[in-house]
Structure formats: structure tokens, C-alpha cells
């Protein structure tokens, strides 16, 4: 099946710094990718839709200046958490899919802000 | 926001028993999908059932869909310890497959 790779799997950063997370579709082109956030023992919350070549679409309540999304190519979307604070600590997951089929998820990134 | 709720929130069974998880959703759907997540990992797709389907099987998995009640169930038969994971239903689909997830069921299968 299709593969989506997410990097890094874990990152620890200091408050106030920015962290970039990459999501790559390895064997297919994805014009759309999605970014989710998951708190411990909770479900996935959709943060934004990453659109290749255009601006991301953010869900209500998600700060677009805090979570910068860039989808510069058909195989790569990046999520940058800017000026990170401890409350940004979470598990971030990306997904991509071919049309009208199941979604393929990255392995997730555990972000800890200290 | 969540599309709907799953119940139970947590389920503990013995190996060999069947596990049933239920999912309710709020809006009309193109399809409903079930995913599995091992602790701290990404999600793995299990099964997709379209809105015009009522039941679907895949190995030890059986999914039903009742669009009149806006509900779905996932049955895992003859469970194994390796089935221990969180299970999520998700609705959305369509061309981009934008998914909204349910609250999830944490399944523990005791050996």
C-alpha cells in the first residue's frame, strides 16, 4: 500500500523556539494532505488541510500564525510550530490519500516543549 | 471537532472472545472508515464501508452501517492479544479524504 513518512518521530524543544515537522508521500502524489493533533488518550483533531501550491485551510480555533503549513510539492507538506510553548506539546500526525480511498498516515511526531 | 462518539470508551476482553465497538455520527456521509492505532503510533486503515453498503467483512473484521440511525459497528472475532489498540471510526471521504474522527475505543485483549 501507499506509504506516508513523517519526520521527526520525536522532538524536544525549548519554549519560544520553532519546530518543523515533515510529511512525505513516498510513492504517490498528494495534492492534499491533512494535519491532525492528538492529546493523550484522546482522538485525532483535524487541524488543517494542506493544499499543494496554495494556502492551507485551517479548522476553526486553530491559529494559522502558530501552525504554519507549507505544501510546496506534490509529495511534501511541512508543519511548523512557531514560538512553541508547553501547551503545544502533543502528538501530531499527517495523512494523505489517493482519491476516494483510505487515508495513509504518517508515524506521528511526539513534540515536547520544555 | 469530533464527528461523533464511540462506545464503549474502553473494553477489556479475554483472548478468543469477540469485541464489538459502536460508532455514531452526526451528518450524512459518503463512507465510514475504521482505523486502528497502537499506542504512540500512526493510524492503520482497517476497513471502509460506503453509504450504500450495510455490511462488510475483512478477515476477522465485520463492519455494519445503518445510515438511518447514523451508526456503525466494528466486530472483531476471535480476538488476539495483538489486537490490543485504540480503534477509531472516521467519516468524510470524498476526493480528498478529509476525515473527522470519532472519540475512539481502547481495546485491551488479555492473553
Determine the pLDDT at residue B86.
Answer: 97
Is the predicted pLDDT of residue B88 greater than 60, yes or no? yes
Size of interface A-B (CB pairs under 8 A): 71
Is the predicted pLDDT of residue B2 greater than 60, yes or no? no
The larger pLDDT score, comparing residue B22 to residue B4, is at B22
Q: Does A102 touch chain B (CB under 8 A)?
A: yes
Determine the pLDDT at residue A53.
Answer: 87
B98 → closest Cβ in A4, A41, A49: A49
Instruction: Return the HEC string of A19-86.
Output: EEEEEEECCCCCCEEEEEEECCCCCEEEEEEEECCCCCEECCCCCCCCEEEEEEECCEEEEEECCCCH
Cell numbers found for residue A2: 501507499
Cell numbers found for residue B51: 453509504
Q: CB neighbours of B7 closer than 8 A, spacing ≥ 6?
A: B21, B22, B105
Is the predicted pLDDT of residue B1 greater than 60, yes or no? no
Residues A93, B2: C-beta atoms closer than 8 Å: no
Is the predicted pLDDT of residue B10 greater than 60, yes or no? yes
Best of A43, A51, A57 to disrupt the B interface by mutation (most B CBs within 10 Å)?
A: A43
Determine the pLDDT at residue A1.
Answer: 66
Q: Does A20 touch chain B (CB under 8 A)?
A: no
Q: How many CA atoms lie within 13 A of A40 on its CB side?
A: 4
User: Tens digit of pLDDT for each residue in B30-81?
Assistant: 899 999 999 888 999 999 999 999 999 999 999 999 999 999 999 999 999 9
Amino acid at each position: 500500500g501507499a506509504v506516508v513518512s513523517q519526520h521527526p518521530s520525536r522532538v524536544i524543544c525549548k519554549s519560544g523556539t520553532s519546530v518543523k515537522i515533515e510529511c512525505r508521500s513516498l510513492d504517490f502524489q498528494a495534492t492534499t494532505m491533512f494535519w491532525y493533533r492528538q492529546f493523550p488518550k484522546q482522538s485525532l483533531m483535524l487541524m488543517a488541510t494542506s493544499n499543494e501550491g496554495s494556502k492551507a485551510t485551517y479548522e476553526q480555533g486553530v491559529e494559522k500564525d502558530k501552525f504554519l503549513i507549507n505544501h510546496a510539492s506534490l509529495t511534501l507538506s511541512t508543519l511548523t510550530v512557531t514560538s512553541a510553548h508547553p501547551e503545544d506539546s502533543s502528538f501530531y500526525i499527517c495523512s494523505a490519500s489517493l482519491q476516494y480511498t483510505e487515508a495513509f498516515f504518517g508515524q506521528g511526531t511526539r513534540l515536547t516543549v520544555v | 471537532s469530533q464527528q461523533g462518539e464511540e462506545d464503549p470508551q474502553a473494553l477489556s476482553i479475554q483472548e478468543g472472545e469477540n469485541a464489538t465497538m459502536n460508532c455514531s455520527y452526526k451528518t450524512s456521509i459518503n463512507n465510514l472508515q475504521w482505523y486502528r492505532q497502537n499506542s504512540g503510533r500512526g493510524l492503520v486503515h482497517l476497513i471502509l464501508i460506503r453509504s450504500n453498503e450495510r455490511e462488510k467483512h475483512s478477515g476477522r473484521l465485520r463492519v455494519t452501517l445503518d445510515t438511518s440511525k447514523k451508526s456503525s459497528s466494528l466486530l472483531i472475532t476471535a480476538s488476539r492479544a495483538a489486537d490490543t489498540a485504540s480503534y477509531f471510526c472516521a467519516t468524510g471521504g470524498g476526493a480528498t479524504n478529509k476525515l473527522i474522527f470519532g472519540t475512539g475505543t481502547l481495546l485491551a485483549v488479555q492473553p
